[in-house]
Structure 1
Amino acid sequence: MNESADIRFLLAIRESGSLVAAARKLGLSASAITQRLQQLEKKLGAQLLNRTARRLQFTEEGTLLCERGAELVQQFDMLFEDLQMRRGGLIGTLKVNAPLGFGRRYVAPAIADFQQQHRDVDVALTLSDRPLTETTERFDIVVHIGELPISNRVGYTIAPNARFVCAAPALVKRLGSPESPDELGTMPCIVLRENNEDVTLWQFSRGRTRRSVRVSSHLSCNDGDVIRQWACEGRGVILRSEWDVADDIAKGKLVRLLPAWKAPDADVMALTHQCAGLPARTRTFMQYLQARFRPLPPWRASR
């Protein structure tokens, strides 16, 4: 059998987490997966997996083959991709992870247009409310909004993005407009649950002055579109990204509160595995994504 195919087969098992899941991924029967694994182990003269009813555990030899093999497969793919580039095209599969709302509104259209230009690239988009808690090694690019946590990923800025405190005009008329962040603690607020963050602690600054406010929330959701709609209906105050609320503010559906106070920016980032050695399709898509938001992102273009 082809050594590259053997390594890819083993990597598919590791990524899937089980032989059954690997069978689905590869379009094979469970018995065919088991038979191929046994043939590979016989060929190498080493057991690669310890298989029990509850879990799948790689042996030392299996782990070594996956780790070293993944590097070799990547180099192999990059070689053929470079050859393809010389002929004027990109090849391969690009796996992208993005947040739900931003992914639907901006990343999905960008991917569709990118793939239209590069017909030999297959793009797999995964939308998640917790992109940073996913198995990030599964993805070539992770689109992230906000502060970059400690990570082995390299971050590239895609677009600037502020965060605003907003409420419906009807709610402001009923409760009044707060003059300081502290007053938010007594107002009904709506929060977005994502990335296991402390979502009820809102932070602000004005010059050198800092304020942290613990808001009270009886409504929460993991989908930003839902909390924005609730806010437009006058159900509470939200702290939301500029990209999501700019249109509603412009249309008068939402009013920006505390304009003199600044919440931490939440720039749009693209996270990749490393600076050097990225496949051409990954580099090209990242540059394409950056260009989509220049010179101004859509949420600032109409100002």
Structure 2
Amino acid sequence: MIAEAGARQAQPASAGIPEATDGETIHTNANWTDVTPRLSILVPTYKDSANQLLSMLAACHYAEAVEIIVYDDGSQDIALTNAMRESVDAFPGAACLITAEHNKGRSAGRNRLQASSRAPWLVFLDADMIPDDEGFIVRYLKCVQDDSAPRLVVGGFSMKLTPFSSKTDLHRAQSERSECMAASVRSEEPGRYVFTSNVLAHRDIMNAVPFDPAFSGWGWEDVEWGIRVSRQYPVEHIDNSATHLGLDTAQDLLRKYEQSGANFWLAVERHPDVMEQTPLFRMASMFSQVPGRFLIREVSRYVSRMPVWLMPRAIRLLALKTFRAAVYGGARHART
């Protein structure tokens, strides 16, 4: 089933097909109107296929009890769209693909997914993530069955199923150090470790605390959202991890850092009490006052991109950290 529409205001989803807006195309599978979902699994994507994720979720226990909504944020790739439609049609539960005409950004995409969903509990799962085992859906269902009170539940992040590649080894090492943590560790600072690549939220939270569309491009919109949620609702961490498959090369990771400086300082403006306590803030603030930060940035860029056989990974990680701080320092200097 396909629905198309022009520029109309999106409305909360009902039992029917979500209402298209702003030139979107909406495709639902044959199960859509027959399923009353207990969970809505919401998948934002841009120029990446969600097919492997859909396939893995289809193999999970109780897949027929959920709905999956994929939001393609303006990829404008007909072949990609057709392939994801086939995966949507094959999913054993309810499934929907919303294809946006133009890119609107990560915050707007997640808000659109929430508005299209029907279940009281929502799982945000990035397209380049896959569940680590077949009990992924069951564990989240148990969470909502055991305690129906509105809260945020963070499942966790892993590299368990990510194939090793020398091209992405730096991103892998950075993720293992800063993101792949057990629930017991994340629980020590629950608001800080909210990764929207794999998180369960009650609908009341999304209605009260939507993602901030002022964050454009890549980076920090999820951290800022997690801080706001933690001020109003409980944040619980559990071990229900998903693997991040979409690791970046060092060059692509450096490029993303270069694009995220404005978002970082916007997060600092929104939550200075939290952000100013981070080592990154202190380093970036220092670099904003250093006249030679351009040279430091370029040297650290060069070292970060060196192959592991030529430069130890620990030094490349330090260079990556220094590069981001120097870039953010420059972004702060440009704002003043």
Q: TM-score, normalised by structure 2?
A: 0.29
Larger Rg: 1
Which structure: greater strand fraction? 1
The structure showing larger relative contact order (alpha-carbon pairs under 8 Å, at least 6 residues apart) is 1
Q: TM-score, normalised by structure 1?
A: 0.31
